[in-house]
Chains A and B, each alone.
Chain A
Amino acid sequence: MLAYVIRRVLIMIPMAVAISFLVYVGLDATPGDAVSFMLSPEQMSGANPERLEELREALGLNQPLFVRYFIWLGGLLQGNFGYTLTGGVPISDLLARRLPATLELAAVALVLSTVFGSILGIISALRRGTATDNTLTVVGMVGVSIPEFFFGLVAITVFALNLGWLPVGGRSMPQYVTFWDRLPHLVMPALVLSIMMTAGVMRYARAAMLDALNKDFIKTARSKGLPEWRVNLLHGFRVALTPVVVLIGFRLPALIGGSVIVEQVFQWPGVGSLFVLSVRNQDYPVVMAIALISVVTVLVVSVVIDVLTAIIDPRVRLGN
C-alpha cells in the first residue's frame, strides 16, 4: 500500500502543474486584465493611459504568458503564493483569513450531512416501501432539486428577519471572542449547505444499503441467528459505506473551493466569494492559488478514498 501511495503522490505533481497551466491559459484568454478591472468605465475616461501602462509594467502584466506562468510557478516552489494584483495583499495572508471560514462551514456541513444522510438513508432502506421510505424519498428529491439560494433566503426570512433568532449574515462581529460567540452566525449557512448534501448522501446510502442487504452474506448472517440490528449495521452498513465514503470524499474539494452561493447569500467571508471576486477582477495569482488548492485537494482526496475503500472492503487491493 505504501508503494501505491508514493506512486500516486508522485503522479499528482505533474497533474497539478498541468491543470494549473490550463487554468492559467484559460484565465489569460478572457478579455482584459487586472488593471482594466481596477477602473470602472466611468473612471477610465479620466485616467491617464501612460499611468495605466506603468501599472501594468509594475505588476508584470506586460510579460508574455509563459514568462508570467513560470514566474508564478517559481514563486510557488519557493512557498510564495505571491500578492494580489488589485490590493497587493500577500495571498498566503488572504488564504489564511479566508480558508478557516470556509473550512469551518465545510466541516460542519460535511459532518451534519454525513451523519443525517447516512442515518436517514439506512432507515429508508430498512423501511423500504413503507410510508417512512416514501416520505424520505420525497424529502430527498426536494432537497436535491431546490437550489441552495432558495433555502438560504427562506431561512433568512424566517429565522433572522421574522423570528430574530439568528443573525442575518456575516461570520462574526467586533465584540466576539470565542467560537461560541460566532456559532449563531454559523448555524444557518451550515444547515443550508448541508441540506443538499444530506439529501445526496441519503439517496446514496439508501441505494447502497439496499444493494448490500440483498447480498448472500447478509442471508448467511441472518441464518446464523445474529440479531437484526447487528446484521444491518455491522454487516450491511459496513459494505454500504463504501460508495458513501467515495461520495463524501469527492464533496470535500468542492467545499474547500467554497460554496459560492451559500457564501454570497449569507455574506460569509470564505474562499468561494473570494474566488468569484478574483475571477471577476482577473486577479490571476489569487485564482491560481485557489484553483491549485482545489486541484491538490481533489488529488489527495482521491488517494485517501482509495486507501479508505481498501480498509473498509478487504476485497479491494491497491496497486493491482
Chain B
Amino acid sequence: MRRKAGAVGVHERSWITIRELNREPIHMKKLLALGMALLMSTSAIGTAAAQATNNNPLSDVRVRQALAYAIDMQTIIDTIFDGNAIKAVGMLPNGPFKNPDLNPYDYDPDKARELLKEAGWDSNRTLEMVYYYDDQITANLMQALQAYFADVGVNMNARLLTGDVAKTLGAIPPNPTDKSLVSWDLGYGARAAIVMQEYYNDYATGKASSDQFPGTPEMDAAIAATNASTDPQKQKEAFFAIEKLMNDNVYTIPLYYQKLYTVESDRLNRNGAPYGNEQFNYNWDIQNWTVEADASGKHVFYTNGAPVDYFEHPWANLGLWVGNRFVFDRLLFANPTMTGVAGGDLAETYTISDDGKTVTLTLRDNIKWHDGEPITVDDVTWSFEAALFVPNLHGVVGKTLNSLEGAADYVAKKAEHISGISTEGNTITLKFATLDPNVLISLSQFAPLPKKYFEGTDPTVLQQNAFWQKPVGSGPFKVDTVAFGDYASLLPFDDYFLGKPKIDQVVAFASADGDVNMVKNAAANRIDFAITKVTSDVKALEEMPHMKLTPMDIPYTRMMWINTYDK
C-alpha cells in the first residue's frame, strides 16, 4: 500500500543527519572531493551557459551542478542502501558505452555553496521534490537529500505522489519556452532500460516525460546520433558524446545504479544456465533446470509473480510475471545482458540487411501453441499489427514497430495492413522506413499471440479479452490451474521445441512487482526462484542459509529529474 501523502517539512528535525550518514572521517572525503572538483570545474562550467535561461533558477547550470555536489551519494549507499547499489557517474550503467571522462560530482559542499553564490541563489526559496516509491528506504533517502541540501543553503520539501502520478510527472507545455505545467522542481525516479537509447530518447524537444527538460538543439542532435547507426563503434562514440553533454549540463542528476538480485533456493539447479537481466527475456534455458523432488517424488518449482486477477499481456512488462517468463516465447533470444541477440527462438533464423532496414525472420517448422495448433506467420504478423494499438506497449518495441514502412498509415487507419510486413512461406520480411538500431533486441522481447483467440477484439482493449484468464502460450510451460490472487500452476509443455522441461510443475504465488511476501515465502521454503531489487529483502535473504543471492548489474538508474522549464 502507498504511504499516506505527506511532506517532509524543512523545519522539522531530520532524524538522519549528515554526520550520522558519514561513517568515514569527513575531512578526507572533503579533500578528495575538492581536489576532483577543482580538476573538473574548468571544463564543467566552461561548456555550459553559466546563467539562468529563464525565470526558473534551476535553468542555471551552476545551481544544478551545486545540487549534484551537495549530495554524498556514496555515504547514502553505504548507510541507507547497505551497500546494495553503485554510485552513478553518468546516466548509463557501467559498461562499454560508459564515457570515462565524466565528472563524478563527488560530494563537495563547499563547491556547492560557491556555485550557488555565483548563481545568486535565493536561500529563502524552497524546492519541491516529488517521488512515487512508497517504501521506507525512499522516505529515508528523501530525508537525507533534504539534509544535504539544507547544509548548502537549499531548502527542500519532499512529497509522495499519489493519484495520477504519470501525468503529474510528465505533463509538458506545448512550447518548450512556455511556463511549466507541473509545480514540482525535483523528481526522484528511475529508468529500467533494455537498450541504452532509452536513457536519452525522452530528452528530445517536445517529448513529454518525467525529466521535465525542454530540450536543446545540441541534445536533439546528440539523441539523433545515438539512434543513427547499428554500428557498435559509432554508437559508442555517440553515447560518449551525449553522456558528456548531460554530465556537463546536469539536466538530470544520476544518483545510483540499482542492483538486481536473483534469489534461488538450494533445491534448484540451473545446470549451467547463464544469469542475466532477469527483468527481460533471454535464453535462460529453463527447460533444463531441475529441482529436488519433494516427499511424493514430484519435482515442483516454487516462484512468485502469479496473477492477482488476470494474466498481463506480455507486451508491457516484457520479462516480469510468471506468464511472461514461462508461458510465452519470443521470436529471437537476446543474450543475457541484452547487448545483442544470441540466436533464434520461435524464429529459427534471421537476417538483417547492411543498412539495418530490412529484417527477415524464418519461423521454425515444428512450433506449436499450447492448444496444439501450429504457430504461423499469420499469428506473428497479426501480433505486430495489434501491438501498435495496445496502449501500454513497451516503448522499445513500440519504436521498432512504428519504424516499419506503412506503420503510420496503418495506425491512422488509412491502410488495412502495415505495408512494410510481408510473408512468404515461413518467412516474414520487415522493411523499415527509418532505422531502428534496436530492432533485434525488440524482436527478442516480443512474444507473438495466437490470432484466433482475438478475432473481433479491438486491440485497444486487448487486455480486457477473456483470453487472459487462461492464456494459450508458446513457451516451455502451459497454464494448468489458476486460483487468482492465490497461486498459478503451470505444467511442462510436451511439444516445446527445445524439449519438454525437466521440472514437473511450476507453482507460482500471486504477487505484484516487488513481492512483499517473498521473504516470508522464502523462509517457508516456498520460493525456489525470484528476483528482487529491495535492499531490505536482500538483507533478510542473506541470513537464510538455504537461499542463494546472485547480484547482477543491470541498466537501472535511479535519478533526480530537474524541472528546468520556465516558472
Contacts and interface: CB of A to CB of B under 8 A. Distances in A.
B208 A45 contact: yes
A88 B520 contact: no
A97 B190 CA distance: 36
A49 B208 contact: yes
A32 B163 contact: yes
Interface stretch (B285-293, B423-431, B477-485): B477-485
Contacts of B132: 41
**Shortest Cβ-Cβ A-B pairs, 6 listed:** A46-B395, A88-B464, A31-B163, A32-B164, A269-B485, A87-B310
Interface stretch (B23-31, B228-236, B385-393, B528-536): B385-393
A36 B398 contact: no
A55 B391 contact: yes
A173 to B, nearest CB: 7
B51 interface: no
Given A89-B310, A169-B517, A59 B461 contact: yes
A287 to B, nearest CB: 14
B190 A88 contact: no
Contacts of B523: 161, 168
A143 B396 CA distance: 54
Interface in B157-186: 162-170
A112 to B, nearest CB: 23
Given A88-B463, A168-B521, A280-B1, A43 B485 contact: no
B509 interface: yes
Interface stretch (A245-253, A271-279, A295-303): A271-279
A171 B483 contact: yes
Contact of B485 (A35, A86, A98, A173): A98
Nearest to B491: A174
A312 interface: no
Given A41-B166, A41-B170, A174-B480, A35 B391 contact: yes
A172 interface: yes
Contacts of B1: 264, 276, 280
Contact of B486 (A83, A161, A267): A267
Nearest to A185: B486
Nearest to A57: B460
Interface string A254-294: 00000000001001010001101100100000000000000
Nearest to A56: B391
A223 to B, nearest CB: 59
Interface string A46-57: 111101101100
A267 B487 CA distance: 10
A41 B166 CA distance: 4
A160 interface: yes
B466 A88 contact: yes
Given A44-B167, A170-B486, 6 more contacts: A32-B163, A36-B166, A44-B170, A46-B198, A55-B461, A267-B486
Interface of B: 1-2, 132, 162-170, 189-192, 198, 202, 207-210, 308-310, 316-317, 389-396, 398-399, 458, 460-461, 463-466, 468-469, 480-481, 483-487, 489, 505, 507, 509-510, 517, 520-521, 523-524, 526
B202 A45 contact: yes
A52 B170 contact: no
A42 B192 contact: yes
Contacts of A44: 166-167, 169-170, 209-210
Interface string A77-108: 00000011011110000100110000000000
Chain B interface, DSSP helix/strand/loop, else mixed: mixed
Nearest to A50: B411
A97 B394 contact: no
Contacts of B487: 170, 172-174
A90 to B, nearest CB: 9
B163 A269 contact: no
Given A43-B394, A47-B392, A51-B390, A267 B510 contact: yes
B164 A36 contact: yes
A174 to B, nearest CB: 4
B192 A54 contact: no
A88 B465 contact: yes
A269 B483 contact: yes
A46 B391 contact: no
A94 B309 contact: yes
A281 to B, nearest CB: 10
19 contacts: A31-B163, A36-B164, A40-B166, A42-B192, A46-B393, A47-B393, A49-B208, A51-B389, A58-B460, A83-B464, A86-B309, A87-B310, A89-B469, A168-B526, A169-B520, A169-B521, A170-B509, A171-B486, A269-B485
A97 B484 contact: yes
B372 to A, nearest CB: 22
B485 A274 contact: yes
Contact of B210 (A45, A55, A94, A160): A45
A174 B489 contact: yes
Nearest to A83: B464
Contacts of B210: 41, 44-45
Contacts of A41: 132, 165-166, 169-170, 189, 210
Given A42-B189, A168-B520, A269 B164 contact: no
Contacts of B168: 31
A169 B302 CA distance: 14
A38 B391 contact: yes
Contacts of B170: 41, 44-45
Contacts of B520: 156, 161, 168-169
